[in-house]
């Protein structure tokens, strides 16, 4: 399995164990071939007590330590802590690195972004190039090709309006999104999952089974062979609540999945208990999280729920 595919599976794994769309709404910029969506409600997260109390000060300080970042943000008139509302990552099944789209909703000063792009393209053409693409109505879309380094493929970026930024390693994905006026997902099962997304979750995920197995190793394929779809996510408040629904192909498959989840949780508890002698706050916090996770079966669906207490969160963030 390629590194790119592994990272996507890892991202899903994090969501399942630890700016979503409003209920009933599917983002119009989603690529037609989307089979996996991870959505982060940034506004909710940064406004949560958890973030304000434990993370915000350190995050802002980290930005201040980079003069280049500070200068760029100032030139763009952009504050990532207040101007980003939602980030959505979408991609189809498979391991191809030039497929998928990142959609960022928020507030963007178009004049400042365009001015900065023109300046960088002029002074550093090896870093940023401007592509003018016909929009089908006699005008042009501006698509920026951004070099990320010698070993990394470029990323294509566009701002269709003052509230949206699009980015992808595939130019076609950005151009296709710019031309959209409504969603046209080919996978109707995924469309159904997205329409039922919980708008109160800070992080949410919707994945159809094929996206978890395409291009994966035999072990991963066997693990998800019983799964039709996965949806759910994380709600952040005073505590972190985890809610995941795994749709199985049959009732027997659902029972088998629950048994595997229970076995995995048991192994995790034993491993963490064995490490507890180190008197690590992080290990104790992880053990609290694992102990809170419970799985139940309802017909062909496995429901997995858990919670992370404020105390466990604070302990996990403390340095030993």
Do 166 and 202 have their domain in common?
no
Do 88 and 211 have their domain in common?
no
Which range of residues forms the domain containing residue 217? 188-317
Is residue 57 pLDDT above 70, yes or no?
Answer: yes
Percentage of residues in the chain having pLDDT higher than 90:
47
Do 152 and 202 have their domain in common?
no
Is residue 226 pLDDT above 80, yes or no?
Answer: yes
Do 135 and 54 have their domain in common?
yes
Number of domains in the chain: 2
Residue 16 inside a domain? The answer is no
> What pLDDT, on the 0 to 100 scale, is given for residue 319?
52
> What pLDDT, on the 0 to 100 scale, is given for residue 94?
80
> What pLDDT, on the 0 to 100 scale, is given for residue 315?
67
Residue 141 inside a domain? The answer is yes
Higher pLDDT, 137 or 108: 108
Do 201 and 169 have their domain in common?
no
Helices then strands, each counted (H, E), the chain: 13, 12
Share the mean pLDDT of the chain: 84
Do 171 and 198 have their domain in common?
no
> What pLDDT, on the 0 to 100 scale, is given for residue 179?
93
Do 93 and 150 have their domain in common?
yes
Structure tokens at 307: 């919670």
Is residue 12 pLDDT above 70, yes or no?
Answer: no
Structure tokens at 154: 């470029």
Do 212 and 154 have their domain in common?
no
pLDDT tens-digit profile of 262-318? 999 999 888 887 776 655 666 777 788 888 899 999 999 999 999 887 777 776 666
Please tell me the least confidently modeled range out of 35-49, 176-190, 214-228, 248-262: 214-228
Last residue of a domain, one of 178, 206, 222: 178
* Average of per-residue pLDDT across 150-165: 92
Do 174 and 192 have their domain in common?
no
Percentage of residues in the chain having pLDDT higher than 70:
88
Do 197 and 279 have their domain in common?
yes
Contact 100, 170 (CB under 8 A): yes
The pTM score is 0.82
Residue 301 inside a domain? The answer is yes
> What pLDDT, on the 0 to 100 scale, is given for residue 317?
65
pLDDT tens-digit profile of 13-35? 433 333 334 444 789 999 999 99
Residue 11 inside a domain? The answer is no
Nearest Cα neighbor of 233 from 52, 81, 19, 3 is 19
Last residue of a domain, one of 178, 199, 218: 178
Q: Alpha helices, DSSP H only, in the chain? A: 3-17, 42-47, 49-54, 56-64, 67-76, 110-123, 171-178, 188-195, 209-213, 218-224, 251-275, 281-292, 310-317
- Length of the chain in terms of residues written: 320
Q: List, edge to edge, every strand of the sheet that includes 240-248.
A: 128-134, 140-146, 155-161, 164-168, 101-106, 84-91, 36-40, 203-208, 227-236, 240-248, 301-308, 294-298
Residue 18 inside a domain? The answer is no
Residue 132 inside a domain? The answer is yes
Do 170 and 192 have their domain in common?
no
Do 61 and 155 have their domain in common?
yes
* Average of per-residue pLDDT across 194-207: 85
Last residue of a domain, one of 178, 204, 233: 178
Q: What are the residues whose beta carbons fall under 8 Å from the beta carbon of 175, sequence distance 6 or more?
A: 133, 141, 143
Residue 19 inside a domain? The answer is no
Residue 26 inside a domain? The answer is no
Is residue 130 pLDDT above 80, yes or no?
Answer: yes
């Amino acid at each position: 399995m390629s590194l790119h595919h592994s990272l996507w599976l890892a991202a899903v794994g994090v969501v399942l164990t630890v700016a979503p769309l409003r209920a009933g709404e599917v983002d119009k910029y989603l690529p037609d071939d989307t089979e996996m969506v991870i959505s982060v409600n940034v506004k909710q997260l940064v406004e949560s007590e958890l973030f304000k109390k434990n993370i915000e000060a350190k995050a802002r300080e980290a930005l201040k330590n980079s003069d280049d970042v500070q200068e760029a943000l100032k030139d763009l008139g952009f504050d990532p802590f207040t101007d980003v509302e939602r980030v959505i990552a979408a991609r189809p099944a498979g391991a191809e690195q030039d497929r998928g789209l990142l959609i960022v909703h928020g507030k963007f000063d178009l004049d400042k972004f365009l001015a900065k792009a023109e300046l960088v393209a002029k002074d550093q053409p090896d870093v940023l190039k401007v592509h003018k693409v016909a929009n089908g109505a006699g005008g042009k879309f501006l698509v920026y090709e951004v070099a990320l380094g010698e070993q990394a493929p470029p990323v294509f970026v566009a701002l269709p309006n003052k509230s949206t930024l699009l980015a992808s390693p595939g130019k076609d994905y950005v151009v296709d999104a710019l031309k959209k006026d409504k969603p046209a997902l080919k996978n109707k099962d995924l469309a159904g999952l997205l329409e039922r997304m919980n708008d109160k979750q800070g992080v949410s995920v919707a994945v159809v089974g094929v996206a978890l197995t395409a291009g994966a190793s035999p072990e991963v394929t066997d693990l998800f062979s019983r799964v039709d779809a996965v949806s759910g996510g994380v709600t952040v408040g005073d505590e972190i609540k985890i809610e995941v629904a795994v749709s199985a192909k049959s009732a027997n498959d659902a029972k088998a999945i629950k048994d595997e989840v229970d076995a995995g949780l048991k192994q995790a508890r034993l491993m963490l208990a064995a490490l507890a002698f180190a008197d690590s706050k992080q290990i104790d916090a992880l053990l609290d999280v694992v102990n809170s996770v419970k799985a139940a079966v309802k017909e062909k669906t496995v429901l997995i729920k858990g919670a992370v207490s404020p105390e466990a969160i604070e302990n996990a963030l403390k340095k030993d």
